[in-house]
Amino acid sequence: MTKMVTVYKGNLRNEITHVQSGTKIITDAPLDNHGKGEAFSPTDLFVSSLGACMLTIMGISAQSYGFNIDGTEIETEKVMSSNPRRVAEIKINIKFPAGSNYTEQQKRLIESAAKTCPVANSLHPDIKKEITFNW
């Protein structure tokens, strides 16, 4: 079990502490929802968590099979809906380093890992996910 503590700091800003490590993250409401947009919004973290989770599970899979994905980047983009206000779509663009030469089996392992990470498995099925693998 992992514990985090979130403290409301005022002006639509929160400070989240990861208890085990002491690492802190600040969130701010986005400009389109009464905030200053000076830090990640909670929905930004939600979408970014998907990208980080995908990379982590892809890395574990690659390690297990004796290759690496070092330098791989994921760009995430959220599309909000207004009624109710929620994340309606997540666009994921996975970029592998120039010169990467994965076999077809490695590509299948990477794609499977990305699509079945714990965050992806936790998303509501109504959230559309558009995933692009740029080999």
What CATH number does the domain containing 107 carry? 3.30.300.20
- Tell me: do 123 and 60 sit in the same domain: yes
Please report which confidence band the pLDDT of residue 134 belongs to, taking 50, 70 and 90 as the band edges: very high
Residue 13 shares a structural domain with residue 52: no
User: Phi/psi at 72 (nearest 5 deg)?
Assistant: -65, 140
26 and 71 assigned to the same domain: no
CA atoms within 13 A on the CB side of 112: 9
Let me know: does 109 contact 119? Beta carbons within 8 Å. no
> Residue 44 — pLDDT band, cuts 50, 70, 90?
very high
Helix (H/G/I), strand (E/B), else coil: 1: coil
Q: Are residues 71 and 126 in the same domain?
A: yes
In the chain, the number of structural domains is 2
pTM for this predicted structure: 0.92
CA dihedral angle for residue 112, residue 118, residue 120, residue 121, rounded to 10 degrees? 90
Q: Are residues 114 and 95 in the same domain?
A: yes
108 in the same domain as 67: yes
Q: Give yes or no: residues 58 and 124 share one domain.
A: yes
Residues 59 and 20 in one domain: no
What pLDDT, on the 0 to 100 scale, is given for residue 78?
96
| Residue 124 and residue 72 in one domain | yes
Residue 77, domain extent? 42-134
